[in-house]
Chains A and B, each alone.
Chain A
Amino acid sequence: MVCIGLLNTKSKTVHLFKNNISPFRIVRRLVIFLRFTFFSALIIQGQESLSTQEFQRKMVRELTGGVPIQGTLDVLRERSTPEQRRITANYLCRTLHSIGLAANRHDYKMSNSFFLLDFFFAPMQGTNVYSIIPSTEPSEEYVVIGAHYDSEPGSPGAGDNASGVALVMELGRRLTQMDSRKYKYVIAFFDQEEDDEVGSRAFAKKLMQCGINVHSVHIVDVIAWDDNDDGMIELQSPSKKLEQLYLNAGNQLKVLLKVVGGASSDNLSFLESGFETVGVFSDDLTPHIHKPTDTYDTVDFDFLERSTDLIAHVLKSMNVNGSN
């Protein structure tokens, strides 16, 4: 995949020596380096042994400010301001590393949703984080699995969308453990969904520009609430091919699925760009959405795990049978 590597990938190089570096700075950097190595080793060791639910609970807790992010002193109460989103993007990169994946950044700038705003305000800018899991057999087809990581101002965003991020990261973890992969997988975390899906629009645009052969796009959002304990999952505007795959998986896992039209999240960006897309959501909308009460305690982790299993099953069946 030549072009996805061109998605404005930033690799940060830490230069140990700069001009006029003092012995104090060398010692300080050495301490930082050792601390980073120590914590990274701890994180990697820790992540591998966690069950799905433990892993997802840990991620949602860290993303919603329940505890400081592991290895740092940063506490994320929400993920709305540029600084909070920067910390979150760094956290996602570290978590991708911890599950054995290389993290890439896609920095973008986009015009505002209403053209007159361009004259008075700066352009929208942010960073999508993504990782590519290679196929085990020759393939140039990509399956994109994504969730947005930003939250509405004033809301911790546990359901919207730390839950989706935890789901996608867990899928990344499972995909790396698969012995054979027919497709290449892009694990993507989009910025600024709450701002008119700017991050995913930039990502879809880049995929189009690069002429990437995208098999399908699976977008997960607000997947943390089950009002009536029926475990029902909503599929938004799936293509015929994906609808059949999900319905088959639902039948096999005894998961209720509801197919609806429209697109209320990042799936809109990919639908508009003409990709085979499905949006995966909780059928019951959390009453805490965009509110300060959208906290860790309101997330239904059993439901989240069942949803993860469903998508994992779909990906596995695609891998075994193909879907064309």
Chain B
Amino acid sequence: MARIRISDSTFSLVLLFSFVPFMVKAVSYIEAGNYVPFLVMDIIGLPLIYGFYYGKAWTVNWLKTWAIIMIVFGALRLALGGLVMFSHVGIEAAIINQVNLLFIALCLGYIIGGIYLLRNASRVLVLAD
């Protein structure tokens, strides 16, 4: 039984959905024989589970770190996408083909979701009964 819980269902939903694209990526890279993205997800995810048992401050810090990672990741991905869009020289077709409207929407989703998590992380955590 966790000692900490999230009081805001929207926040829980955003947090949950923030994991989905990364989990999808981790699993698809396992299929490709590369376990690094999965390990990175573990390294990021395990402190959260630990934090729910350990204490509020830890969890808030973790949530903020995760939010910053999301924002930086979204911004970097958007910048890379822009680079790929405007300069095709020396870039593989498989990469070029990935940069489309969905790609941009997902990047914006990371940034907006990250900002939302960052702003609300301190507010939504309460001690469980």
Task: Please indicate whether A and B come from the same complex rather than being unrelated chains.
Answer: yes
**Beta-carbon contacts of B27-40 to A below 8 Å, as 1s and 0s?**
01101111011001
Across-interface contacts of B28 in A (CB, < 8 A): 109, 122-123
Closest to B22 in A: A119
CB distance from A294 to the nearest CB of B (A): 15
Distance of A41 from chain B, by nearest CB (Å)? 36
- Binary contact readout A187-206 vs B (1 if CB under 8 angstroms, 0 otherwise): 00000101110100000000
Q: Which residues of B lie under 8 Å from residue A134 when comparing CB positions?
A: none
In the bound complex, residues from chain B placing their C-beta under 8 Å from that of A37 are none
Q: Decide: B94 and A118 in contact? CB cutoff 8 A.
A: no
- Taking the closest CB of chain B, its distance from the CB of A102, in whole angstroms, is 26
With contact pairs A111-B34, A118-B36, A123-B34 given, residues A80 and B29 touching in the complex (Cβ less than 8 Å): no
CB distance from A39 to the nearest CB of B (A): 30
A115 to B37, CA, bound (A): 10
CB pair B93–A111 under 8 Å, yes or no, is no
Which of A80, A109, A117, A123 gathers most chain B CB within 10 Å? A123
A250 to chain B, nearest CB (A): 35
Whether, in the assembled complex, A17 has its beta carbon less than 8 Å from a beta carbon of chain B, the answer is no
**B25: interface (CB < 8 Å):** yes
Look across to chain A and name the residue whose beta carbon is closest to the beta carbon of B24: A122
A:75-119 near B, CB below 8 Å: 80-82, 109-113, 115, 117-119
Contact across chains for A113 and B29 when beta carbons are under 8 A apart: no
Contact present for A81 and B97 (CB under 8 Å): yes
Knowing A81-B97, A153-B88, A195-B93, the reply to whether A120 touches B77 (Cβ < 8 A) is: yes
Map CB proximity to A onto B11-51 as digits: 1 under 8 Å, 0 otherwise.
00000000000000100110111101100100000000000
For residue A121, CB closer than 8 A to chain B, the reply is yes
- Give the distance in Å from the alpha carbon of A119 to the alpha carbon of B31 in the complex: 15
Residue A124 at the chain B interface, CB threshold 8 Å: yes
Is the C-beta of B2 less than 8 angstroms from some C-beta in chain A? no
B97 touches A111 (CB 8 A): no
Contacts of B97 on A, CB cut-off 8 Å?
Answer: 80-82
Whole-angstrom distance between the alpha carbons of A194 and B95 in the complex?
12
Chain B residues whose CB sits within 8 angstroms of the CB of A125 once the complex forms: 32
C-alpha gap A261/B20 in the complex (Å)? 47
Residues in A with CB closer than 8 Å to B88 are: 153
Contact residues, A120-169 vs B (CB, 8 A): 120-125, 150, 152-153
Contact B93 A122 (CB under 8 A): no
B125 contacts which chain A residues (CB < 8 A)? none
**Could you list 25 examples of A-B contacts with CB < 8 Å?**
A81-B93, A109-B33, A110-B33, A111-B32, A112-B92, A112-B94, A112-B95, A117-B95, A118-B36, A119-B40, A120-B76, A120-B77, A120-B80, A121-B98, A123-B31, A123-B32, A123-B34, A124-B32, A124-B94, A125-B32, A153-B88, A192-B93, A192-B94, A194-B92, A198-B94
B residues with CB within 8 A of A: 25, 28-29, 31-34, 36-37, 40, 73, 76-77, 80, 88, 92-98
